[in-house]
Amino acid sequence: MNDSPRSTARSRPWSLLGLIASALVIAFLAACNLTYDSYFSPPQIPGATFTGVKSCEECHEEIVEEFEGATHAKLLNESHHAINLGCEACHGPASTHNESGGEVGTIHNPKSDPDTCYQCHLDVKGSFNLAHAHPIGDKVSCNDCHDPHSGAAIKGGGVAAMKEAETCIQCHQAQSGPYVFEHEATRDGCTVCHSPHGSPSDKLLKTSNQMLCLQCHFQQQTAPDVILIGGRNHASWVSRGTCWTAGCHESVHGSHVNSSLRY
Ligand code: HEC
Ligand code: HEC
Ligand code: HEC
Ligand code: HEC
Ligand code: HEC
Ligand code: HEC
Ligand code: HEC
């Protein structure tokens, strides 16, 4: 915490207000701290207790083995408080499941239930509540794009941009081409232009104006009143709308007829 605002407040006539405000802030932070302790609660299963990741091995050997290299293996904390983490952080306590030999309905499957994930990724819930977002539920689930059990949780994550695009193309074949005139931007994956969860902008775009395109097509300007993009003066065009709605580059993913991605 930076305490300079507080000392400024004290030296002014409204210092009492300042003090009350700080007290409220401190009370609020304390409350946050309290809720933080009880912040994460794994899925509930009546009567069941936590058994730890080792207990799954016998029947789900492959998943347990792969899990070692998964992003969420970070949940496998060694501390004695942490037996309820690992697999059961998402699946709930498994004793009933294990004892019944895996009977249906004895364990939580977070398949299309994002609330399991929001327990720890609350900020992500916010992005799905934005004006334009993927419809999480039956049609799209977190695991369409994320892998809870093996490798990077972000499918095709890291440097493998093309693999990330493959995730999107499962459902959006139209944007994948092949095109006669490909837009090389899509080689860097879809998320250079789209926010994968949600966005305030239409079509899940990262920005709704020409900045979306200028992140790669910015060009050193040589004269006032001249806006060079792709080597051509765009000064009279940029006022007509965005690069993709002004009638100029409508086929932003690629085109079959026009190298300027016009149609
Ligand atoms: C004694 C064997 C056994 C043990 C131990 C066991 N399971 Fe299972 N589990 C099964 C069987 C059998 C099924 C149902 C068939 C299948 O989907 O493979 C199952 C299914 C599941 C499912 C899918 C349930 C559904 O409704 O879709 C999950 C999730 C699961 N197990 C998690 C776990 C976890 C986590 C552990 C360890 C904490 C564990 N299991 C331990 C036998 C077991
Ligand atoms: C980050 C949350 C998370 C963790 C941690 C997790 N799982 Fe899962 N698990 C899921 C989700 C989500 C699904 C549904 C996947 C789907 O249907 O595509 C699932 C499905 C399953 C299934 C049934 C479907 C299948 O793939 O056979 C089993 C069994 C299972 N998990 C076992 C485990 C075991 C064992 C561990 C620990 C080694 C574990 N899970 C850790 C989220 C998790
Ligand atoms: C018990 C808490 C917990 C739950 C429940 C949980 N996660 Fe995570 N998740 C984590 C932790 C811890 C990390 C690792 C964060 C890091 O490395 O900075 C992580 C990482 C991730 C990442 C990768 C983030 C990155 O920047 O690489 C994704 C994607 C993700 N989780 C998705 C999910 C999904 C989908 C679910 C539900 C099926 C889920 N998580 C459930 C705790 C959780
Ligand atoms: C349409 C695909 C898609 C779906 C559906 C999706 N994600 Fe993601 N998610 C991504 C991609 C791609 C990234 C990598 C970040 C980026 O490129 O902006 C990501 C990043 C993340 C991250 C790490 C960065 C961050 O924003 O915190 C978490 C955590 C995460 N997702 C959780 C979830 C959860 C939880 C769900 C379900 C409620 C979900 N995601 C559904 C594609 C998806
Ligand atoms: C499991 C299927 C699935 C996956 C995977 C998927 N999407 Fe979607 N996407 C949808 C659905 C369903 C909609 C909503 C369609 C609608 O409202 O017409 C949608 C909507 C969109 C939209 C807005 C379309 C519009 O007309 O407003 C964009 C942009 C988009 N997705 C991009 C992506 C990107 C980028 C990825 C990869 C990170 C991705 N999608 C992965 C199913 C998926
Ligand atoms: C160079 C930026 C850029 C890249 C890269 C990009 N998109 Fe788009 N995408 C856009 C723009 C701009 C629109 C809005 C077009 C419009 O409104 O006419 C859009 C629209 C969409 C739509 C809505 C349907 C439509 O055509 O209006 C979907 C779905 C979509 N994109 C999916 C993807 C997928 C999947 C990828 C990766 C293969 C991808 N996009 C890569 C810029 C991009
Ligand atoms: C991730 C970087 C990137 C982004 C973002 C991007 N582009 Fe591109 N674009 C390229 C690359 C690389 C080429 C091919 C090399 C070149 O012509 O500069 C290209 C080529 C083009 C061309 C063809 C130029 C020609 O005549 O051959 C047009 C038109 C174009 N982009 C328009 C757009 C529009 C419109 C947007 C915004 C919706 C956009 N680009 C966003 C990277 C990008």
* Domain boundaries, given as residue ranges, for the chain: 1-25, 54-108, 178-255
Type of residue found at 79: S
Residue with tokens 């701290």: 33
213 lines ligand 5 (CB under 6 A): no
142 lines ligand 3 (CB under 6 A): yes
Could you tell which of 124, 141, 144 is best to mutate to test the pocket of ligand 4, judged by most ligand atoms within 8 Å of the CB?
124
Residue with tokens 């409220």: 24
What is residue 213's three-state secondary structure?
helix
Per-residue pLDDT of the chain (263 residues; tens, 9 = 90+): 344 434 333 445 455 555 555 554 444 444 433 333 345 788 899 999 999 999 999 999 999 999 999 999 988 876 666 655 799 999 999 999 999 999 999 999 999 889 999 999 999 999 999 999 999 988 999 999 999 999 989 887 655 555 778 899 999 999 988 899 999 998 888 999 999 999 999 999 999 998 999 999 988 888 888 888 888 888 888 888 899 988 889 999 999 998 989 88
CB atoms within 10 A of CB 48: 19
Could you tell which of 141, 199, 204 is best to mutate to test the pocket of ligand 5, judged by most ligand atoms within 8 Å of the CB?
204
16 lines ligand 1 (CB under 6 A): no
| Phi and psi, residue 22, nearest 5° | -65, -40
140 lines ligand 4 (CB under 6 A): yes
66 lines ligand 5 (CB under 6 A): no
154 lines ligand 4 (CB under 6 A): yes
Task: Give Cα 57 to chain centroid, integer Å.
Answer: 30
Ligand 3 center from residue 72 Cα (angstroms): 6
Q: Which ligand 1 atom lies nearest to the CA of residue 108?
A: 29
pLDDT at 122: 93
Q: Please, what is the average pLDDT of the chain?
A: 83
Residue spans of alpha helices (H) in 58-94: 61-67, 87-91
CA atoms within 13 A on the CB side of 75: 21
CA distances from 258 to 53, 55, 71, 247 (A): 56, 59, 43, 13
Could you tell which of 103, 107, 116 is best to mutate to test the pocket of ligand 1, judged by most ligand atoms within 8 Å of the CB?
107
